[in-house]
Amino acid sequence: MSLLKGWRTRLAALSLFLLGLLEAVDPHLLVTLLGEEARSGVLLFYAVAFYGLRQITSTPAGRSGEPPR
């Protein structure tokens, strides 16, 4: 996981952005793929994921954790 240090939250945010983009392009695509009941589950997953990522983060928000050059 140290390879992804500073990038885990960014990658999670990017995946949520792409999910939102898919939803904007075709509002029925995710419902077709996952079912109506899964929509709230996806939102809950992202809420828990972002909370968990913030809890394991050892650097301030917005910093990669690498020393300045």
pLDDT recorded at residue 23: 86
Domain positions in the chain are 26-58
pLDDT of 17 reads 92
Q: What is the model's pTM?
A: 0.66
CA 18 distance to own-chain centroid? 10
Does pLDDT of 49 surpass 60?
Answer: yes
C-alpha span between 57 and 49 (Å, rounded) = 12
In angstroms, what CA-CA distances link 22 with 1, 29, 51? 28, 7, 23
- Tens digit of each residue's pLDDT (9 = 90 or more) over 3-17: 777 788 888 889 999
The C-alpha torsion from 54 through 58 and 60 to 65, rounded to 10°, is -120
